[in-house]
Homo-oligomer: A and B are copies of this chain.
Amino acid sequence: MSRQRLDPETITRMAMAVVDEGGLEALSLSAVAQRLGVGPSALYSHVDGLEGLHQLVAMGAMRNMVTEVRQAAIGVAGPGALESMGNAYRRFALEHPGQFRSTVAHPGPAGEGLAAAHDELLEVFALVYAGAGLDRTESAVAARQARSAIHGFVSLEACSGSTPDHDDHYSDLIALFSRALNRRRVR
């Protein structure tokens, strides 16, 4: 026997591949272990069971999301930035439905790390508003509202079998939150 070398990062990467290919419900210790050429029980040396694996996948998904949304906002001015970020948000959900769903799954006992990741994504939105002149608390409020709307639209679209004729509605919805960028007022 060739004594496999494992670590949490490798396991998480493999788990996310499973989720990308078979959806969130395909995630299991057995499936991941099989891809690694190892017995299921071997994973317990690095991961806190199935629940721990779910948490790692959710954290990885949030990290990917933050990366893409942040990248979409680079070098784009105010209202355009929000639309670009919204498009990146939506694209991620449609291309990686399993990862997307993992970010909003059960709260879980070790959910404080996930909550921090969500706050980090919120911070990306807040930076756009802060750049437009809104103060810290105003930016936080506007960011939460814009993110909620974007998340809700994308979430319902991903669930509803993706009828991709809602492009205009999505743009209009984002435009609604771009106004706070011009007027310096949310309400």
Residues of A within 8 A of B (CB): 23-25, 101, 104-107, 111, 115, 118, 141, 144-145, 147-153, 155-156, 159-161, 166, 169, 172-173, 175-176, 186-187
Contact = CB atoms under 8 A, between A and B. Distances in A.
B155 A172 contact: no
Q: List 9 A-B pairs, minimum CB-CB distance, nearest first.
A: A152-B152, A148-B153, A148-B152, A151-B152, A149-B149, A145-B173, A104-B159, A107-B161, A115-B160
A166 B143 CA distance: 13
A11 B183 CA distance: 54
B145 A172 contact: yes
Nearest to A168: B141
Contacts of A118: 156, 159-160
A157 B20 CA distance: 25
Copies of this chain in its oligomeric complex: 2
Contacts of A175: 187
Contacts of A115: 160-161
Chain A contact surface mostly: helix
B155 A145 contact: no
A130 B45 CA distance: 59
A143 B40 CA distance: 48
Given A104-B159, A175-B187, 17 more contacts: A23-B106, A104-B155, A111-B161, A115-B160, A115-B161, A118-B156, A141-B172, A144-B153, A144-B166, A145-B172, A145-B173, A149-B149, A149-B152, A150-B152, A172-B186, A172-B187, A176-B186
A148 B166 CA distance: 12
A101 B103 CA distance: 13
A176 B169 contact: no
